[in-house]
Amino acid sequence: MVSKEEIEHVAKLMRIELDDHAIHIDRVQKMIEYLDILDRAIKEITEPLIVNEQPLENLREDKYEPYNDKLIDKLKHYKEKFIRAPKMV
Amino acid sequence: MNLGISALEYIDAIKNGDFTIEEFVSETFDRIKKVDDKLHAYLSLNEKALDQAKELDKKRKAKEKIGACMGMSVAIKDNICVKDTKTTCASKMLEKYVAPFDATVIARLRKQDTLFIGKTNLDEFAMGATTEFSAYGPSKNPWNPEYVPGGSSGGSAVAVSALESIASLGSDTGGSVRNPASFCSIVGLKPTYGLVSRYGLISYANSIEQIGPMARTVKDTAFLLNIITGIDPNDNTTVDNHGEDYLKDIDAGIDGKKIGVISEMVGKGTDKEVSSATKKALAKFEDLGAKCEEISIDMVDYSVASYYTITSTEAGSNLARYDNLRYGFDFDLEEYEFNSYISKARKNFGPEVTRRLIIGGFVPSTGHAGKYFLEALKVKSRLTKEINSAFKKVDYLVAPTVPVLPFKFGEKLDDPVAMFLIDFNTVTANLTGKPAISVPFEISNGLPIGIQIIADSMQEKSLFQAAYALESTTNLPKVPL
């Protein structure tokens, strides 16, 4: 059983504030409880996990392709060469 | 003018000069105006569509060649980027996001002169099975507006079903194309993983999701697939189908083919009307010369748990970018405390996305990953092995697309596990990467039932042949609206 404290802790790590919606915690708890049936499945599986590896030669060519530079105009606080962002402390 | 014609009929009609593209688009907009207040298929409409239609008509008049889609009106799920068009994922988080580029599927359709009539509603970030989790309100089922249209590509299914577009695109992570196709009585395909480029599809669980066509007929679905498939340098997972023509020999029939009925998907938890429709479908397959047998795939019972573990984990990672640094809102330029700045922005996620993100943080975290995430991957791997060996014995696997009939709004909203189980018959195709199609088969007391056919990887051609054969045995009523 997953404790509410654990859920709250993970929510914090995911940068989600839960103060005003505690109801989520109950539901998340129910959802995670359902996932526990995986424990039953695993009893039947003895073989190691097969992971399909992507061969490296199939990767896209490592080449610089400039994107349409007008994109930057879409920023709200863009002036000449600078982007103004909110101050962080 | 009949707005309920198929895509192929539309193309013929335009070629024959029965009506102009502009006339069709204009009538489609009238239809949208008439029914969409009630049904809410669309989140936004393409205001330029009429002008684009006129432009295409002009070209045709001047005997210039235009693309194979002939200005066909197609609706696009609002998690697929269409250049200079709002792409909200039905989330407040992206309410002002205007895509600066076309998704590969859009570029391919555009090249064939498709008109994108509007962007359709979905569950926020495609997480849901009813559209009830859309931040802009749910879509309604045109067969009975008190019922859910299915999801997450609910708007795309409603648009086609209610004659608000000829065809549409959806995305399918765990059944999101097939489930609403089934609930709204249209055809929906989840292609083999990698057959269709995901470039420009806003990621939710990228290791298993695919963009899929939705249309009124199996042939229309094959026609659309012909256009959107192929290798894309922008999506490394795409595979080469060597220009396969899915329409060719679609009427080859299924005489002598073997069909496996997945026993786990027709057992407990299946509504009796759905069971009875499935039995009828199997009888039809036998009439067409196929041989049906029951096949048990043990891991299906654990597929939903595996699916939610994997998708939540990937969602947790994919949605981390909405932190108001890389994506998000233009907040005012006041001073912020770093942590609260990010969580302030992330409060714009709706309740279901928030919950899935928490699960997505929890299941792969230290101390839990071995229990949840690793187990889920092992189930996925074993399930794939079981399905692959089934395809050594049979050509197709069949089950009802959704084990239950369409249900009323709110009915399952407060029961997350009941909501999970709606996906019971569809997630297997996603976890194993196989192609699967939902074919409308019956209307039971005014509510549609679809039958799902699954084929082996890259066997879409054969899949369409079975779907077309099944479709040919049906004679379904028109949508009542």
Cross-strand partners of B120: B42, B77
Contact B421, B304 (CB under 8 A): yes
Contact B426, B402 (CB under 8 A): yes
Q: How far is B238 from chain A (nearest CA, A)?
A: 11
Q: Dig out the tokens for B321 from the structure.
A: 């970018």
- For chain B, how far is it from start to end, CA to CA, in angstroms? 16
Whether the complex's predicted ipTM is more than 0.95 is answered with no
In A, residues 24-43, which contact B (CB 8 Å cutoff)?
24, 27-28, 30-32, 34-42
Cross-strand partners of B267: none
- Interior/surface letters A33-42, b for 16+ CB within 10 angstroms, e for the rest: eebebbeebb
Residue of B nearest to A62 (CA): B233
**DSSP per position, B210-243:** EEEEEESSHHHHHHHHHHHBS-BTTBTT----TT
- For chain A, how far is it from start to end, CA to CA, in angstroms? 38
Could you tell me which of B257, B241, B230, B170 has the C-alpha nearest to residue B438? B170
Q: Which of A4, A38, A56, A61 would best serve as a mutation to test chain B binding (most B beta carbons within 10 A)?
A: A38
Q: Do A89 and B335 touch (CB under 8 A)?
A: yes
Q: Is B214 exposed, middle or buried (0-12, 13-18, 19+ CB in 10 A)?
A: buried
- B163 vs B40: CA distance, rounded Å: 13
| Contact partners, residue B236, CB within 8 Å, separation at least 6 | A54, A58, A59, A60
In B, residues 370-399, which contact A (CB 8 Å cutoff)?
371-372, 374-379, 381-382
Q: CA neighbours within 13 Å on the CB side: how many for B255?
A: 3
| Strand B73-77, strand B396-400: pairing | unpaired
- B381 vs B375: CA distance, rounded Å: 10
Nearest to B381 among A16, A27, A49 (CB): A49
B161 CA to centre of own chain: 14
Nearest to A13 among B100, B361, B420 (CB): B361
Contact A9, A2 (CB under 8 A): no
Contacts of B354 in chain A (CB under 8 A): 16, 21, 24
B368 φ, ψ (degrees, to nearest 5): -120, -20
Q: Do B363 and A40 touch (CB under 8 A)?
A: no
In which element (H, E) is residue B268 found? none
CA angle B267, B472, B402 (to 5 degrees): 25
What residue type is B116 in one-letter code? Answer: F
Q: Is B433 exposed, middle or buried (0-12, 13-18, 19+ CB in 10 A)?
A: buried
Q: Dig out the tokens for A83 from the structure.
A: 């982007």
Q: How far is B166 from chain A (nearest CA, A)?
A: 33
Domain boundaries along the sequence of chain A: 1-41
Could you tell me which of B359, B444, B367, B158 has the C-alpha nearest to residue A7? B359
- B273 vs B405: CA distance, rounded Å: 8
Q: What is the extent of the structural domain holding B412?
A: 1-481
- B22 vs B34: CA distance, rounded Å: 18
- B132 vs B92: CA distance, rounded Å: 15
Nearest to B337 among A11, A41, A89 (CB): A89
Per-residue pLDDT of chain B (481 residues; tens, 9 = 90+): 899 999 999 999 999 999 999 999 999 999 999 999 999 999 999 999 999 999 999 999 999 999 999 999 999 999 999 999 999 999 999 998 999 999 999 999 999 999 999 999 999 999 999 999 999 999 999 999 999 999 999 999 999 999 999 999 999 999 999 999 999 999 999 999 999 999 999 999 999 999 999 999 999 999 999 999 999 999 989 999 999 999 999 999 999 999 999 999 999 899 999 999 999 999 999 999 999 999 999 999 999 999 999 999 999 999 999 988 777 776 777 777 777 788 888 888 999 999 999 999 999 998 888 889 999 999 999 999 999 999 999 999 999 999 999 999 999 998 989 999 999 999 999 999 999 999 999 999 999 999 999 999 999 999 999 999 999 999 999 999 7
**Domain A1-41: top CATH class:** mainly alpha
Q: How many domains does chain B have?
A: 1
Residue of B nearest to A17 (CA): B343
Could you tell me which of B287, B318, B254 has the C-alpha nearest to residue B467? B254
Q: At what angle do helices B218-228 and B104-111 cross, to 10 degrees?
A: 110
What CATH code is carried by the domain that includes residue B138?
A: 3.90.1300.10
**Residue B45: count of CB within 10 angstroms of its CB:** 18
Q: Dig out the tokens for A77 from the structure.
A: 């606080």
Contacts of A34 in chain B (CB under 8 A): 305, 308, 416-417, 420
Q: Do B371 and A31 touch (CB under 8 A)?
A: no
